[in-house]
Amino acid sequence: MEPSFQYGGFDGKWTYYFEGDFTHDTLGIENPTGSDNAIHDTTNQYRGFAYLSYVIDDSSRFSFFGGASYQDYQIPDNPGQIPAFDYEGTTNFNSSSLNENQQQQNSYGVLVYQKSFEDFKHPGRSLRALQHGPLQPRYRGRSDFQWPRWNGNHSLNSQGIQIDSSYELNERHTLRFGVYVDVEEQHAADPLDVFPRTRRRSDGRRAIHNISA
């Protein structure tokens, strides 16, 4: 299922355009099994875009355009897996009942001012972008199958300004110059949880392992 919409037009000095879409699918990530229908593999995705422009006068204009997206993915389960660790006395957790999920968010925006007079043209832009991608598993169940267990959260924030100018020296020559500045900030949080638990050996006996990151 993938509905979408588009809407645009102009009103006086304003020009505008909007669009968006939504995607729902039962196969979000590659199926780890050979079956036609994956277990716990649904995805919902939202995307939007907007453009606005306003004419100040015959020689100047403000414009803005930006977009955003959000994706929600279920991590598909692989049934029939044997737990590697005991968790609070549970040794037979069903691997097809795990509930791991991943969310991704992305957005950007650009504000533009354009000005021209005589032989000089001066478009300027202010840029901003944001990316955010957390992975949020449910601990119960996953703990039985894999340690250390991870709950990651990564983000990237970028901001900047760009100025492009040009000057017509004569009919055959144009001088172009500009400035571009960009600042990026990245965060990565990857906490690991560990604990000592009983692990079954290949001979069926149980041994204590002190698990650490």
How would DSSP label each residue in 174-209?
A: EEEEEEEEEEEEEEEE--EE---EEEE-TTS-EEEE
Question: What is the average pLDDT across 160-184?
Answer: 84
Percentage helix, strand, coil for the chain under 3-state DSSP, each rounded to 5: 5, 65, 30
pTM: 0.71
Where does the pLDDT of residue 20 fall: very low under 50, low under 70, confident under 90, or very high at 90 and above?
A: very high
Dump pLDDT digits (tens) for 130-154: 655 555 544 444 555 554 556 667 7
- The DSSP bridge partners found for residue 165 are 177
Q: What pLDDT, in 10s, does the model give residues 53-74?
A: 999 988 888 999 999 999 998 8
Q: Which domain holds residue 29?
A: 4-209
What pLDDT shows up at residue 116? 79
> What is the per-residue pLDDT for 77?
87
- Provide the pLDDT confidence category of residue 212 given band limits of 50, 70 and 90: very low
- Please state whether the peptide bond connecting residue 148 to the residue before it is cis, i.e. omega within 30 degrees of 0: yes
d(Cα 17, Cα 14) in Å, to the nearest integer?
Answer: 10
* Span 167-185, average pLDDT: 85
What pLDDT, on the 0 to 100 scale, is given for residue 210?
45
Give the integer Cα–Cα distance in Å for 64 and 110.
6
Q: How much is the average pLDDT of 34-48?
A: 89
Share of the chain above pLDDT 90, in %: 22
Instruction: Report the domain count for the chain.
Output: 1
Nearest to 77 by CA among 42, 32, 37: 32
Residue range 26-36: average pLDDT? 84
The tens digit of pLDDT for each residue in 72-129 reads 988 888 888 777 666 666 667 777 878 888 888 888 888 888 887 776 666 666 666 6
Given this model, what pLDDT does residue 194 score? 63
pLDDT at 138: 44
